Amino acid sequence: MLVEVGMTPDRLGPQGPSRRAVLTGAVSGIGTALLAAPTKAAASERAAGGTAVALVPLETSEIVTYDSTWATQHVLDVPLAVSIAGYALPSSGLTVTVSFDLRLLASTDRVAIAAGTASWSASCEPAQVLDDGTARVTFDVVRPQGSSRRRSSSTVALPLRPLDLYPDENIGAPHPLVIEVVRRGGAQRTARTWSTVSRSVPATPWGVEVAAAWTSLELPGSLGPLGYRAPISVRLRSTGPAPIPAGSELVVDLDASVVAGLEVLTASIDGLAIAAPTPRVGRQDETLLRGSWVVPVAIPAGSVLDVVLDCTPVAAPPTPRSLRRATVSLVGAGAGVPRETGRYTAVDLTSSGTPTTDGIAVGTI
């Protein structure tokens, strides 16, 4: 909710990023995306000769929390970048103060600013921590010496960094986020407040952490391991508070020129065998072989589903080309609310030990 004062994992697809990954990526890339596209001054600003102080949000993203019982969901729109009018007045710059919830966000020590074709950065004052769990960070937006005064609007990528809330998203309602812009001397000011919107959830949220063990496939005629890494077992850990819904799909994507077939050998929950799910395996296109299995039962919070896989390599070495990297994902089912664990997809590590995809779980079991 905006007040002016003055994958989710469910059907995002096997490699759909979490909202947290999207938010982090948006913040890290904002300097090249939004700052490269200058905004147009409003009509009222032009009429005032470019001196009116104004604040317009350009890009926002949601942060989701829950109450302690997981029965109420709180959603806060967080601004990533804003347009600030009135900065080009030669006699005085603007001072911007951002008040934010320390549980959700952290401040950086510099802010990126652009106007027209010019871009620069400015230092921020050290964040001031308040007794109510919020903090304030302040910075100045001043026209650089010698730059054009024709454009009085600037684009500002806010000096905020989102924190990873998982696994403690049930922290209650966030504090509002407030941005105040004041011309030096206090002659003009404007402010906007982003407030939390709360709503009852239709069902208790559930969550999962996906991990996998990997192996290198060998093909006939090759001199050794091909170097293509495929999963040989998958582990789904239910993080609650509700069970992983029955009917959710475990999806494994492989390169169709390397892997000819895929099957489930065994499946167990907390070490107790269950009937191995019948897979659906087929080519999606020339390069993608997809296997999917319906999870037959709900997996309670704290329990673990282990699935052992068998990948059958192709009969002959593939024609050399870039290969599709294997992924393992869980796609939720039903009306349940999936938590933002950021771990609904797993991939293998590169030879240097770093993830091949951002914002997802990695590693072995």
* 209: pLDDT strictly greater than 50: yes
CA–CA dist 182, 53 (Å, integer): 8
Is 237 found in the same domain as 326? yes
Is 191 found in the same domain as 260? no
pLDDT of residue 186: 75
| Burial environment of residue 273 by CB neighbours within 10 A (0 to 12, 13 to 18, 19 or more) | exposed
State the residue range of the domain holding 41: 2-200
Q: What angle do CA 250, 251, 253 make, to 5 degrees?
A: 155
212: three-class secondary structure by DSSP: strand
Q: Are strands 345-347 and 361-362 parallel, antiparallel or unpaired?
A: parallel
Is 14 found in the same domain as 83? yes
Q: Are strands 177-183 and 94-101 parallel, antiparallel or unpaired?
A: antiparallel
**C-alpha to C-alpha distances, 258 to 51, 92, 311, 355, nearest whole angstrom:** 63, 65, 10, 22
Domain-ending residue, one of 165, 184, 200: 200
Is 127 found in the same domain as 83? yes
Domain-ending residue, one of 175, 200, 225: 200
pLDDT of residue 358: 40
pLDDT of residue 283: 82
Name the domain count of the chain: 2
For residue 337, what is the domain's CATH number?
2.60.40
- Cα of first residue to Cα of last residue in the chain, in angstroms, is 42
Please spell the DSSP secondary structure of 287-317, one letter per residue. SEEEEEEE--S-B-TT-EEEEEEEEEEPSSP
Q: Mean of the pLDDT values across residues 226-236?
A: 88
* 134: pLDDT strictly greater than 60: yes
Is 300 found in the same domain as 216? yes
Please tell me the pTM assigned to this model: 0.77
Higher pLDDT, 17 or 137: 137
Is 332 found in the same domain as 219? yes
Is 223 found in the same domain as 94? no
Please write the tens of the pLDDT for every residue from 299-350: 999 999 999 999 998 887 666 667 888 999 999 987 789 999 999 999 986 5
Is 267 found in the same domain as 160? no
Domain-ending residue, one of 200, 225, 244: 200
Is 132 found in the same domain as 249? no
Please write the tens of the pLDDT for every residue from 239-280: 999 999 999 999 999 999 889 999 999 999 999 999 887 889
Peptide bond into 167 cis (omega under 30): yes
pLDDT of residue 86: 80
pLDDT of residue 42: 38
Q: What angle do CA 77, 50, 108 make, to 5 degrees?
A: 40
pLDDT of residue 351: 46
The region of weakest confidence among 3-12, 90-99, 316-325 is 3-12
CA–CA dist 111, 123 (Å, integer): 6
* 163: pLDDT strictly greater than 50: yes
Q: Mean of the pLDDT values across residues 68-78?
A: 97
pLDDT of residue 318: 67
Is 277 found in the same domain as 135? no
CA–CA dist 177, 60 (Å, integer): 12
Contact 117, 150 (CB under 8 A): no
Please write the tens of the pLDDT for every residue from 110-119: 999 998 788 8
The region of weakest confidence among 91-95, 144-148, 229-233 is 144-148
Is 179 found in the same domain as 215? no
Q: Where does the pLDDT of residue 68 fall: very low under 50, low under 70, confident under 90, or very high at 90 and above?
A: very high
Higher pLDDT, 145 or 51: 145
Is 142 found in the same domain as 214? no
